[in-house]
């Protein structure tokens, strides 16, 4: 059985399993409305809405907290979910980072760590992206993910339109840093 809650170490990022006592620190990292402006739940910065998001991260068995490695500060989260052992696929998603971490390679580092880990067991990784989330779409395309389909995906118990991106082993691209 794959371990979907590992501790992963990158150059300036550590991912570790989420715990119930992470709620306050994660909400502090997530309470900026601009983080969620392109997501389907644009009010996820509000405590009550974020608590539902957090509960999903705890219950999915793959929730991870992102830490700025040098300082140990919580800067975001992501998760593995919907492991399908028959076709050996998993979804990576529900990722967010504080805005002060945007554009500096932290998201790329997070995805690299998670993809390297996932491909120990998976033959394919999926990403579900809200059609209005141009920032995530662009970030996925920059690292080599391919738009594969459009589907209705259950998000918080509600069918929601999603763009379905796919990545196979060896497709990760490490793009040149933006200037």
User: pLDDT tens across 75-103, in order?
Assistant: 999 999 999 999 999 999 999 999 999 98
Which residues lie closer than 8 Å to 88 by C-beta, 6 or more apart?
Answer: 121, 122, 123, 124
Task: State both tokens at 41.
Answer: 């739940």
Q: What is the pLDDT of residue 153?
A: 86
What are the structural domain ranges in the chain? 8-167
**Best CATH choice for the domain 8-167 from the list 3.40.630.30, 3.40.50.670, 2.40.160.20, 3.40.50.720:** 3.40.630.30
Q: What is the pLDDT of residue 175?
A: 66
Q: Which of the pair, 34 or 160, is modelled with greater confidence?
A: 34
Share above pLDDT 70 across residues of the chain, in percent, rounded to a whole number: 97
CA-based nearest residue to 145, from 177, 121, 123, 170: 170
SS3 63: strand
Q: What is the mean pLDDT of residues 51-62?
A: 96
Q: What is the pLDDT of residue 179?
A: 45
Q: Which residue has the tokens 């379905």?
A: 164
**Which pLDDT band holds residue 154 (cuts at 50, 70, 90)?**
confident
Q: What is the mean pLDDT of residues 39-44?
A: 90
- In this structure, which long-range contacts are made by residues 71-75, counting pairs with CB atoms below 8 Å and at least 24 apart in sequence? 74/22, 74/25, 74/26, 74/28, 74/29, 75/13, 75/29, 75/101, 75/106
| CA distance linking residue 109 with residue 135, whole number of Å | 16
pLDDT score of 177 more than 60: no
Of 2-6, 49-53, 101-105, 111-115, where does mean pLDDT reach its minimum? 101-105
Q: What is the pLDDT of residue 176?
A: 57
Q: What is the mean pLDDT of residues 107-121?
A: 97
The two beta strands, 74-84 and 89-97, are antiparallel
**Which pLDDT band holds residue 157 (cuts at 50, 70, 90)?**
confident
**Which pLDDT band holds residue 28 (cuts at 50, 70, 90)?**
very high
- In this structure, which long-range contacts are made by residues 41-49, counting pairs with CB atoms below 8 Å and at least 24 apart in sequence? 41/155, 41/156
Task: State both tokens at 159.
Answer: 């069918």
């Amino acid at each position: 059985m794959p371990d979907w809650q590992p501790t992963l170490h990158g150059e300036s990022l550590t991912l570790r399993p989420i715990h119930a006592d992470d709620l306050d620190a994660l909400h502090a990292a997530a309470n900026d409305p601009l983080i969620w402006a392109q997501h389907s739940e644009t009010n996820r910065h509000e405590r009550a809405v974020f608590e539902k998001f957090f509960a999903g991260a705890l219950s999915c068995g793959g929730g991870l907290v992102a830490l700025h490695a040098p300082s140990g500060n919580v800067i975001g989260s992501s998760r593995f979910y919907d492991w399908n052992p028959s076709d050996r696929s998993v979804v990576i998603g529900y990722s967010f980072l504080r805005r002060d971490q945007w554009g500096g390679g932290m998201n790329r580092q997070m995805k690299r760590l998670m993809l390297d880990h996932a491909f120990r067991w998976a033959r394919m990784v999926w990403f579900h992206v809200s059609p209005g989330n141009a920032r995530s779409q662009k970030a996925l395309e920059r690292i080599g993910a391919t738009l594969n389909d459009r589907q209705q995906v259950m998000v918080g118990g509600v069918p929601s339109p999603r763009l379905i991106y796919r990545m196979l082993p060896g497709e990760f691209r490490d793009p040149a840093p933006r200037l």
